[in-house]
Structure 1
C-alpha cells in the first residue's frame, strides 16, 4: 500500500481548539470521510486504522480529537453541565465549516461517535451523503442492561471483585481495574496485547478522564454519567442519509443494542464481523476497511 500524505492542524472552536488530521487530499472527487471517535472521552488513536481507506479508494479521511480529549483543548475542571451532546454537535459542525466540506461529506462514528453521528444525522443536514454507525448503542439503558448481562458471564471471582469495589466506592483500586480488564478483553478489544494505538487511547484516558467520567462513568457497565438516560430510538426514522451499521459478533454493542438502527433507519445495511468484539477496525482491520470503503464508493457513485 502506497504512503498517503497527511496534514495536522487545529480548528478554532470558540475559546478552544479542535485538533484534526487529514489523510489524503480534500481535492479528491471522492466523499471526504470524517471519523468521530468514541468514549465519550477517548481519542482518535484507537480508530486510526480508518486512515487506510484514503489509500484504498483515494478519498480524504479526517480524524479529530473531540474537545476535552487528546490533542484538543483539555478542560479538566469542567463539570457535567459543560459536557453535553449539543457541545459535540456544535464542534462537529464547526469542523465541517472549517474544512469547507459541509456541503458534501460522509461521517463514520464509532461507539459514542456513532451516537453523535446519529444525533447529527437526525437533523437531516443536506451535506451528509453517507453515514456509518460502528458498534453504537441507540439507548444507554439497553447498553447498560446488555453490558451487565455480559458481565454475568465473567468468572465468578471477577464478578465478585467488581461488585465489592463498586459497593465500597473503590473503583480506582488496582484489583477493580484488573477485573474490569477481563470484560474489556472479551467485549471491547480481543487483540491481546492491545495494539499500540488502542493502548495509547486508554493511557490518555487514564491521564485525563474528565469527559468519560462526567458523561459515562467509571466503566462500560457502570454508567452513572449524564448520558445514562440517553436514547435516540424514536428519532431514528428521521435519518435520510444512506447508512451502514457495523458491529462485532462478541461486541459489547450486542445485537439487542444495535437492533434499533437496523430496524428504524430506512434502508440501513448491517454487517456483523464474526471474529470481532467492539473494534472490528482493529480485530478484522482489512475486512472492515474494505466493507466501509465499498459502501462509500457505492453510495457516492
Structure 2
C-alpha cells in the first residue's frame, strides 16, 4: 500500500498506511459503537454539498464555563484532548470533545470542496448553535490547525464568544515555515538537516529516510517530548484515524511548511489580530514547532490578550508540560468568568 506522512502542522509526524474505503468505514463503525453514550450527540451540519453529522461529547455541566475543543490536523480527532478529563472536571469546567467533518467519529464525505476554512468556520457556528453556546458561556479552544480555525471563527463570530484560547499556532504559515527552516532545522546535525531538505526539494516524501530522520532528530524534541514508545494511548489512537484526504488537501506532506499546492499555502492573518476584542489566551511552548516569540507577540496584538508559556513543553504541551498548560488555561477561564480578566 502507498504510504503517506502526516505532520499535524509540525505536531505529529508518523508513517501511516492509507486504508481502503471499506477499511476506513469499518474502523469508524467499530470506534463509534464502542464509545459510551453518556454526553454523546451527533450534530447535523448543512453544507452546499448536502447534510452530514459531526460527533460531539459533553463532559460536565456548567452554565457559565463551556469549552468547545477544536482538534488539529486538519483531519485529526478529539483524542488530541484525551487528558482534559483529568483536569477540567475537578475545576467544574464543562468541555466538549468534537470531531470536525471528515474526522473519525463524524461523517467523512469524499468531496474536496468541503475542505475550506470558510466551510469549517460555518460548521463550528452550526455546532455552537446546536449546543446552545453563547457569549455568556462559550469558550473556544483550538490547538495547531484548531488554533487557526479558532482565529478565523473569532474574526467572523466573536460576538458569540466569552473567551478564545489559541494553542501552539502562529498567525502566519510563511513565518511558521521560516521558523522551522531557519531555527529548528539547524538545531539538527548539519548532515541530517541537509538530507531532509533534499528530500523535501525532490518531493520524495515516501522515502523512509524522511520519517527515520525526523523520528530521531525532530519529534522527541519539538512534537511530544517523550520517547515514541511512551506516547499516550489516545495520541496513538488519534494518529491511527487520520483522514489523509482532508489532511493532504489542506496541509500537504512537509514537516517544514505547507506543501506547494495545498489549500492553506500562504495563510496569514497577522494584520487581522487587532480585530479580536474578546478575551484571548495565546499558549506557546519553549520547544514548540511554532515560534513562542511570535505567539507572545500575538497576545499583544489582540485587544485583550494574555500569553502563557509552557517552558517544558513542545507542540502537544498538554501532555509534556501539563504542570504549566492546565493551570494557565484554567486560570484564564476562571478570570474571564469572574470578570477579573484584564483588571
- 1:18 is aligned to 2:54: yes
Measure the CA separation in 2 of the matches of 1:88 and 1:297: 28
Worse overlay, 98-107 or 157-166: 157-166
Equivalent residue, structure 1, for 2:40: 8
Give the direction of change, closer, same or farther, for the CA distance of 1:229–1:148 in structure 2 (3 Å limit): same
Give the Cα–Cα distance (whole angstroms) in 2 for the partners of residues 123 and 248 of structure 1.
27
Q: Which residue of 1 aligns with 2:282?
A: 245
Render the CA deviation track for 1:189-230: whole Å, top value 9, x for unaligned.
11223221222222222xx31222111110331412111111
Contact 1:30 1:58 survives alignment (8 Å): no
**How many residue pairs were aligned?**
291
Change (3 A) 1:166 1:201: same
Query: 1:84-233 counterparts in 2 under 5 A?
Result: 84-103=116-135, 104-149=137-182, 150-181=184-215, 182-193=217-228, 194-205=231-242, 208-224=243-259, 225-233=262-270
In 1: Cα distance, 2:114 partner to 2:214 partner:
28
Query: Which structure 1 residue ranges, 5 or more long, are not aligned?
Result: none
Partner of 2:83: 49
Does the CA-based 8 Å contact 2:200-2:254 persist in structure 1? no
CA distance in structure 2 between the partners assigned to 1:266 and 1:6 by the alignment: 38
**Ranges in structure 2 where 5+ consecutive residues have no aligned partner:** 1-36, 339-343
C-alpha distance in structure 2 between counterparts of 1:107 and 1:52, whole Å: 19
**TM-score scaled by structure 1?**
0.90
Q: Indicate yes or no: 2:103 matched with 1:69.
A: yes
Q: Which runs of 4+ in 1 moved over 6 A?
A: none
Structure 1 residues 102 and 236: CA distance shift in structure 2, 3 A: same
Contact kept? 2:176, 2:257, Cα under 8 Å: no
**Residues 127-175 of structure 1: per-residue CA shift (max 9 Å, x gap):** 3011111111100110111111212221234324323333443212322
- Residues 142 and 256 of structure 1 are in contact (CA less than 8 Å); yes or no, is this contact kept in structure 2? no
**Contact 2:168 2:288 (C-alpha < 8 Å) held by counterparts:** yes
Match of 1:83 among 115, 130, 147: 115
**C-alpha deviation, 1:259, in angstroms:** 4.1
Whole-Å separation in 1 of the counterparts to 2:277 and 2:268: 18
Residue in 2 that maps onto 1:280 = 317
Q: Note the aligned Cα RMSD (angstroms).
A: 1.9
Cα distance, 1:260 vs structure 2: 4.1
